[in-house]
């Protein structure tokens, strides 16, 4: 498919892509060749985020008409987070770094910084760099508006008031390179929204100690309280503008705990959006920011819903251009006639394409993984089974290419979160492991999102318990079906999935032959204490969230030891590989260090690999490649695929 239609927008001469070949394990672990493609508002230019063979990041700007290169911005080893257009003249590029800031209390944090690139002058400037009293960091993407004829980026940054950092709204005039502080509200403000004219419209506030969220909307008489709710697990924030482009949209939980989208009118009053099930993502008018639809994963199908039938018909026309493939909206022009889509082929993997509705054409821009071909991508099957207590669990099984689906060695690969979920389609980690000859199970255990609030609530208090046996119940189901050999199973995971791997070695024993934990928690009391120190209080949303899933009353709850793998190291019955980034700000590096020390003291086989300069998300290509290669080697040693 990809080789027959069109020409790649990124050529080997410009960006150093190699030809496809039999894929080594590193081919799956490397960063995508094309990470993102964003089209300019007028549809004339494309910004392509690329990773080179040496792992340097590049953002290149091309003419949409013929793919010719306008500019190439070399980002080096910076961690590229997102790219957005501000008109056709300015490109906003956001990167992040892990740092311990001098004279700023607290541990290392991940800081986001946005650079504006002026295509006309070819000059770059760091937003908020020269703003007195503020850090040159941002919270989230900019809200781009045209104010007084000038393109303006409204960004949320940190402004210090009496040595306390507050989330503050700034207006950056990109055409004149001027910055102005717009609003610096209370210390509880955590989110802002500006209207289509660039005037402050709404702010979200969250009281960490009380777990109370408040929404304030600015009217003719100033700021007024529009709503308030108890939300112990965290702030609802602000989701953007509503359908009319004037109201304020918020995603919150109703009395039954279900997610609803509520529109608040500037003059008072609110209404909930009618929908069969909550959106997983919102779709906005690229020109006005108004809500025009949403996307939801229903079972294994990605469904787009638009309020205007014209948009709905246009999207259906886009999908028809790629029969049998999973199509996702990546970016579109202001008139929504030129659309960049990510096309996930079951046989050839993900690739980007540009659809022109006026010309009725669809041209390929390039593959996300150019070194992988049809012979390197295994079949992904949806699976469904019953847990021991009768709860239905769904997930995905990736099968090794060229091997009969019978009596296969298995790797269980639980997701992080724990309130995350796995989705259908290409997954570099499971495909990499499957390429070594393993079937790979990705179960959406209880507590996973996307299956209703009752399913999430079923995970409360089930760390190391039913959330864990949901995994081994999947092993037993696949064995009963004859798909896998129950004597040849390992468990591998990252973040909460890393915890589940350690629990498979120490709690739900007798199921696996080896375990690999990437940045997994091991000592839950220590993890909660570190969280307490980070927020300088035990009364915070993160603490309440973890305690609810762990089923504990507080950091002194003795039940935490019973579900902490580091406290149960003597019970480990299989070899364990620990991999952790030194700059992890989510699950501290010390968690794997404690597990390694506990296993060593207990005389259990353990290997510990440190990823220097790496964060929680394996943002660097070299780290991803090493993690995958070390994982594959460890699993092949202790659970040979043949």
Name which of 8-17, 483-492, 499-508, 509-518 the model is least confident about.
8-17
Mean pLDDT of 19-40: 84
Mean pLDDT of 163-190: 86
> What confidence score (pLDDT) does residue 359 get?
94
Alpha helices in 416-521 (DSSP H): 428-434, 453-457, 466-480, 496-506
CB distance 405 to 398 below 8 Å = no
Give the per-residue SS3 of 54-83. Answer: CCCEEEEEEECCCCCEEEEEEEECCEEEEE
| Higher local confidence (pLDDT), 164 or 74 | 74
The token duo for 84 is 């957005």
> What confidence score (pLDDT) does residue 642 get?
86
Residue 3 — pLDDT band, cuts 50, 70, 90?
very low
For 210-237, write each residue's pLDDT tens digit.
999 999 999 888 999 999 999 998 999 9
Name which of 92-106, 361-375, 591-605 the model is least confident about.
92-106
Mean pLDDT of 500-524: 98
Mean pLDDT of 21-36: 87
Mean pLDDT of 24-28: 94
Mean pLDDT of 414-443: 95
Mean pLDDT of 593-599: 98
Distance CA 111, CA 584 (A): 13
Residue 4 — pLDDT band, cuts 50, 70, 90?
very low
Closest to 330 in 3D by CA, of 300, 360, 366, 382 = 366
Residue 28 has pLDDT above 60, yes or no: yes
Residue 132 has pLDDT above 60, yes or no: yes
pTM value is 0.92
> What are residue 362's DSSP bridge partners?
355
> What confidence score (pLDDT) does residue 104 get?
67
For 239-251, write each residue's pLDDT tens digit.
999 999 999 999 9
> What are residue 92's DSSP bridge partners?
84, 116
> What confidence score (pLDDT) does residue 383 get?
97
> What confidence score (pLDDT) does residue 5 get?
30
Residue 600 — pLDDT band, cuts 50, 70, 90?
very high
Closest to 191 in 3D by CA, of 199, 181, 201 = 201
The token duo for 304 is 């787009």
Residue 20 — pLDDT band, cuts 50, 70, 90?
very low
Mean pLDDT of 415-422: 93
Residue 186 — pLDDT band, cuts 50, 70, 90?
confident
Cα dist from 630 to 375, 377, 412, 518, whole Å: 23, 20, 17, 11
């Amino acid at each position: 498919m990809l080789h027959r239609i069109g020409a790649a927008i990124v050529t080997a001469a410009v960006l150093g892509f190699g030809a496809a070949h039999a894929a080594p394990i590193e081919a799956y672990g490397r960063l995508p060749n094309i990470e993102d493609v964003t089209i300019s508002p007028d549809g004339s230019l494309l910004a392509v985020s690329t990773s080179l063979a040496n792992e340097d990041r590049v953002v290149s700007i091309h003419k949409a008409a013929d793919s010719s290169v306008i500019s190439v911005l070399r980002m080096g080893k910076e961690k590229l987070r997102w790219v957005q257009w501000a008109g056709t003249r300015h490109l906003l590029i956001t990167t992040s770094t892990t740092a311990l800031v001098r004279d700023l209390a607290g541990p290392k944090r991940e800081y986001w910084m946005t650079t504006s690139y002026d295509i006309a002058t070819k000059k770059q400037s760091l937003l908020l760099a020269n703003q007195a009293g503020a850090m040159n960091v941002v919270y989230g993407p900019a809200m781009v508006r045209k104010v007084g004829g000038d393109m303006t980026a409204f960004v949320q940054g940190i402004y210090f008031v009496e040595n306390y950092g507050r989330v503050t709204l700034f207006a950056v005039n990109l055409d004149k390179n001027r910055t102005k502080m717009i609003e610096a509200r209370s210390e509880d403000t955590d989110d802002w929204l500006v209207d289509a004219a660039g005037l402050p419209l709404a702010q979200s506030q969250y009281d960490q100690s009380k777990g109370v969220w408040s929404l304030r909307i600015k009217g003719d008489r100033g700021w007024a309280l529009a709503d308030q709710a108890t939300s112990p697990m965290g702030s609802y924030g602000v989701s953007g503008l509503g359908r009319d482009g004037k109201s304020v949209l918020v995603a919150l939980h109703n009395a039954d705990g279900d997610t609803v989208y509520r529109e608040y009118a500037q003059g008072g009053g609110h209404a909930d959006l009618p929908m069969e099930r909550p959106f997983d993502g919102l779709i906005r008018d690229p020109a006005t920011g108004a809500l025009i639809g949403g996307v939801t994963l229903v079972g294994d199908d990605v469904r787009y819903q638009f309020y205007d039938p014209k948009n709905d018909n246009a999207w259906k026309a886009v999908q028809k251009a790629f029969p049998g493939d999973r199509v996702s909206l990546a970016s579109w022009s202001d008139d929504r006639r030129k659309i960049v889509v990510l096309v996930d082929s079951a046989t050839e993997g993900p690739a980007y394409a540009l659809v022109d509705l006026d010309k009725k054409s669809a041209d390929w821009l390039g593959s996300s993984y150019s070194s992988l071909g049809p012979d390197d991508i295994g079949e992904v099957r949806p699976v469904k089974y019953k847990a021991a207590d009768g709860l239905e669990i769904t997930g995905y099984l990736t099968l090794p290419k060229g091997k009969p689906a019978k009596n296969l060695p298995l790797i269980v690969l639980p997701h992080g979160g724990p309130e995350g979920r796995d989705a259908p389609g290409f997954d570099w980690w499971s495909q990499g492991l499957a390429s070594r000859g393993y079937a790979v199970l990705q179960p959406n255990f209880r507590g996973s999102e996307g299956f209703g609030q009752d399913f999430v609530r079923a995970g409360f208090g089930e760390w190391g318990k039913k959330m864990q046996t949901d995994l081994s119940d999947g092993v037993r189901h696949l064995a009963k079906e004859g798909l896998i050999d129950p004597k040849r199973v390992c468990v591998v995971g990252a973040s909460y999935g890393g915890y589940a791997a350690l629990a498979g070695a120490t709690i739900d024993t007798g199921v696996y032959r080896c375990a690999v934990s990437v940045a997994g928690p091991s000592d839950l009391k220590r993890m909660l204490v570190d969280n307490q120190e980070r927020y300088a209080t035990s009364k915070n949303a993160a603490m309440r969230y973890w305690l609810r899933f762990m089923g504990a009353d507080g950091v002194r709850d003795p039940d935490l030891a019973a579900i902490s793998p580091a406290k149960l190291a003597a019970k480990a019955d299989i070899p364990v590989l620990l991999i952790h980034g030194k700059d992890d700000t989510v699950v501290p590096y010390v968690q794997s260090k404690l597990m390694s020390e506990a296993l060593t003291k207990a005389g259990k086989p353990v290997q510990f690999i440190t990823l220097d300069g790496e964060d929680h998300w394996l943002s660097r290509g070299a780290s991803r490649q090493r993690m995958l290669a070390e994982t594959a080697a460890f699993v092949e040693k202790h659970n040979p695929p043949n």
